[in-house]
Amino acid sequence: MKSQTLLYGRSRRRARGFSLLEVLISIIILSFGLLGAVGLQATALKNNRDARAQSVAVGLARELGEMMRANAEVAVKTSGNPYHGEWSGANMEPSNPSDCLNIGKTCATTTDVANAEMSEWLARVERSLSGARVKVCIDANPYNRDGLPSWDCDATPAGSGNAITSIKIGWTRETTDSKILQANDTAARPFVVIPVLIGK
């Protein structure tokens, strides 16, 4: 009988399961793992949003480059060129907005076509990129001496022959140290720079 009691007592001790302390420690470890996963997900979403904006900006810049090549007669002008300028914030429309490309309307000149293209293109930039800033100018070297993109353009235009035009686009984005950088800030740089060679 005594041996049966010892046997029964031992088996009861083995079947007790986890203590409350062990359960609490496992919950804490699981919580840290879940918090890390949540932080990773937030970072992934931010990077995905930034990559999407980058992709949209490159597509818009390439589209503008193709419009300029198709209308090279106007795009190579050094003055009165509707494609050239700087736009940001509430100033996201060309100096001479036009809608002559709409159904039922006609464009009288290639300059009217350029104004209509820029009106439509700038409206799409404003819708697609938060806090967008766009600069299109004749610029043989769109980078500063450190090799970083710059908003500045060459002071002397290349003339009416083959001219390199730079399309520069920036937008509001979060920096790596979680600060919001506006495209108009002095420290901001264009995030997309596309040089376009236009020739007659």
Asked if 61 contacts 108 with a C-beta cutoff of 8 angstroms, the reply is: no
Q: At 9, list the tokens.
A: 């007592």
Contact status, residue 186 vs residue 63, Cβ threshold 8 Å: no
Residue 6 binned pLDDT confidence (cut-offs 50, 70, 90): low
pLDDT on residue 200: 53
Q: How many Å apart are CA 103 and CA 34, to the nearest integer?
A: 55
The predicted-structure confidence for 24-75, as pLDDT tens digits, reads as follows 888 999 988 888 888 888 888 888 888 999 999 999 999 999 999 999 888 8
Locate 22 and state its tokens. 């062990």
**133 in helix, strand or coil?**
strand
pTM of the entire predicted model: 0.75
Residues with Cβ within 8 Å of 87's Cβ and at least 6 positions away in sequence, in order, are 93, 94, 122, 125, 133, 134, 135
SS3 label, residue 173: strand
